[in-house]
Amino acid sequence: MTLLPSVPTPRKLGLVIDLDVCVGCHACVISCKEWNTGGYGAALSDQDPYGADVSGTFLNRIHTFEVVPEGGQVIGEAGEARIVHFPKSCLHCEDAPCVTVCPTGASYKRAEDGIVLVDESKCIGCGLCAWSCAYGAREMDLAAGVMKKCTLCVDRIYNETLKEVDRVPSCVRTCPANARHFGDLADPGSEVSRMVAERGGFDLMPEQGTRPTNKYLPPRARKPLAASAGAAVLAENTDGAKGFFAWLDGMLDRI
């Protein structure tokens, strides 16, 4: 059924990703691939895995961007630019175009929690849903010929055979920097909703009209490089040294 739920879903399960904290280690990429290649649906295949032209299906990828403020210089020249590591997986949009374009009913959004899933037994592998997604959240598995996407680890989060601490998506559980958070964004009192409110969490490409569930937290403001310049200069400068260090400075000058 490729109609979107007619009323807002009572729960909006999703991720909050903290761009201030992500260190770009790609651990979530690997743990996602590992969990999901043996979990929901067909395995995540690789093509030419040991050759020069290796590629494969991933549901979560880390891009790295350089942001140059007005008047700043690119990072290669040690200026004001900053590097932001940017994890990206399905945003489980409220107005998900990937759902409504599906001709077979394979692509659907769950009415109870808003998770967008693919029923692989119905997917014909036409690729139209991947075209409709502005975020690149869907990748065709070339071995299985069906569309793969983030399931929000639907086979973990409700899985009572796992310990409670493990009932979160694999990427969230594995992140060593705690940059990824999982929760119900429909509940204003949830930890993720509070983070979004406090830190000014935002949507990606709001102009696409997809109303993503996942939110991103902006990098915190950083003091300009010039404000930290004193520390670097101090290493060459002994002005203002006192006591033992002033004596040592003087002695060493005389030798």
> Quick one: which of 145, 188, 224, 250 contacts other proteins (CB under 8 A)?
145
Under the binding rule (CB under 8 A), the answer on residue 213 touching other proteins is no
Name the one residue in this structure whose structure tokens are 């290649």: 37
> What is the pattern of x (binds other proteins, CB under 8 A) and - over residues 214-233?
--x-xx--------------
Is there binding between residue 195 and other proteins (CB under 8 A)? no
The nearest distance, CB 131 to other proteins, in angstroms, is 6
Q: Which of 111, 89, 65 is nearest to 15 (CA)?
A: 89
> Site residues for other proteins, window 72-101 (CB under 8 A)?
72, 74-75, 81-84, 86, 88, 97, 100-101
The contacts of residue 117 (CB under 8 Å, 6+ apart) are 40, 107, 108, 109, 110, 149, 151, 154
Residues written for the chain: 255
DSSP string, 180-207: EEEEETT-TTSHHHHHHHHHT-B-S-GG
8-16, 124-132, 179-187, 241-249 -> range binding other proteins (CB under 8 A):
124-132
Q: Please give the Cα distance from 96 to 114 (Å, whole number).
A: 10
Determine if 122 is a binding residue for other proteins (CB under 8 A). yes
Nearer to other proteins, 164 or 198 (CB): 198
Least gap, CB of 163 to other proteins (angstroms): 31
**Min CB(248)–other proteins separation in Å:** 44
Residues 54-73 that bind other proteins (CB under 8 A): 54-58, 61-70, 72
Q: Distance (Å, rounded) from C-alpha 128 to C-alpha 53?
A: 25
Of 101 and 162, which has the nearer Cβ to other proteins?
Answer: 101
Residue 194: both structure tokens together: 């509070």
Binding test (CB under 8 A) with other proteins, winner from 13, 59, 93, 133: 133
Integer angstrom CA distances of residue 181 from 26, 29, 41, 100, 161: 16, 15, 24, 28, 22
Q: Does 203 bind other proteins (CB under 8 A)?
A: yes
Distance CA 184, CA 63 (A): 25
